[in-house]
Amino acid sequence: MTTAAIIVAAGRGTRAGGPLPKQWQAVAGKPVARWTLERFAAMDQLVLVIHPDDRARAEALCEGLNVRIVPGGAERASSVLAGLEALTDTPPERVLIHDVARPCVSAEIISAVLTALQTSSGAAPALPVTDALWTGDNGQVTGTQDRGGLFRAQTPQGFRYPEILAAHRAHPGGAADDVEVARAAGLDIAIVAGEESNLKITGPDDFARAAQYLESAMDIRLGNGYDVHRFGDGDHVVLCGVQIPFERGLSGHSDADVGMHAVTDAIYGALAQGDIGQHFPPSDPQWKGAESHFFLRHAVELAHKMGYGIGNVDCTLVCERPKIGPHAQAMRAEMARIMGLQVGQVSVKATTSERLGFTGREEGIAAIATATLVAT
């Protein structure tokens, strides 16, 4: 079934404070709206409903995402209707409507809402009210309220698209949320379990709470790479992109840059995308003698396409000779240039194997690398 998501972001959010509406303010390193859009990036269609004055800001924020930007109305209901109407040219079967100020929504909640739509016209996450409820006036408690059967509503609220479109078109406006609109049209709405982390940023303190959830849920991946090349004829070796004069060369199908190969495989490993041999088969003559920066750049570009940035890389070269120390800084600089990183994100170091094994016998060089990838 095809699914669209509408992110409602046309409000001004003045209670949150700050120089900008809350959806454009940063939390855990990214604007609130960017976090929220990324939660729904896998949907078949993604619509962002904004205040007309925010178009330039929204366009910059949506870079790299397939998002349709739609101007909203003066009230939430009119903004939602604008988003629904924008889908009429390619109508989905289901639609999720979500508040932009809930950037911590989990994949589990989204999945639960979509599953409930298999048997209900609508579905929405909610949390049962567990605190005692009072009524009050002028700072004094005037009574209590039974909390039985009461829930705290959350989003995304999901519906079968034709039904919620018709419901919004018929509604006079002023509804608190889309469930109210749907119920006014006679639709049945299933309740699925919400989560405390699916908070709505309303006041200034909510930014810190959201940051705690977002930072703890960051997608961080580690990958390891290992490579070996034997010595052969030659008068230099290429290690981490730097040519070092030596009495022998390294043998390999490409330029045999063992350090760069290990880092490349570490990135592929973190992505669960195989190794260099799968992307650049040694049986293919076009890669004969190829410079290894082609492989490394491909791995970095693949990481970016899959939504990851390189946090840092660490490469250890294992050999008796040549001496690596005098060239380590140049290697770091070259690797950083190729990967588009700061030099401080790249480590290149060396060790010997205490004259043990093939590296100890000076038959070749080995390299071990680790790469950290962070979801962007």
One-letter amino acid at 113 equals: V
What domains are defined for the chain? 3-216 (3.90.550.10), 220-375 (3.30.1330.50)
Above 70 in pLDDT, residue 20?
A: yes
Give the model's pLDDT for residue 375: 81
Lowest-pLDDT range of 31-35, 121-125, 303-307, 353-357: 303-307
List CB contacts of 272: < 8 A, sequence separation 6 or more: none
List, for residues 137-178, the tens digit of each pLDDT value.
Answer: 999 999 999 999 999 999 999 999 999 999 999 999 889 999
- Tell me: the pLDDT tens digits for 273-317? 999 999 998 888 887 878 999 999 999 999 998 888 899 999 999
> Burial of 88 by CB count in 10 Å (0-12 exposed, 13-18 middle, 19+ buried)?
exposed
- 46 and 68 in contact (C-beta within 8 Å)? yes
CA 346-252-264 angle, 5° bins: 30
**What is the Cα–Cα distance from 190 to 192, expressed in whole angstroms?**
6
- So what's the pLDDT on residue 70? 97
pLDDT digits (tens, 9 = 90+) for 210-235: 999 888 766 789 999 999 999 999 99
Q: What is the mean pLDDT of residues 231-242?
A: 96
Helices (H), the chain: 32-39, 55-61, 76-85, 107-116, 161-170, 178-184, 205-216, 258-271, 276-279, 293-305, 328-339, 357-360
Structure confidence at residue 241 as a pLDDT band (50, 70, 90): very high
pLDDT bin (cut points 50, 70, 90) of residue 333 is very high
The reported pLDDT for the residue numbered 15 is: 79
Average pLDDT over residues 337-343: 94
- What is the pLDDT, as a whole number, of residue 58? 95
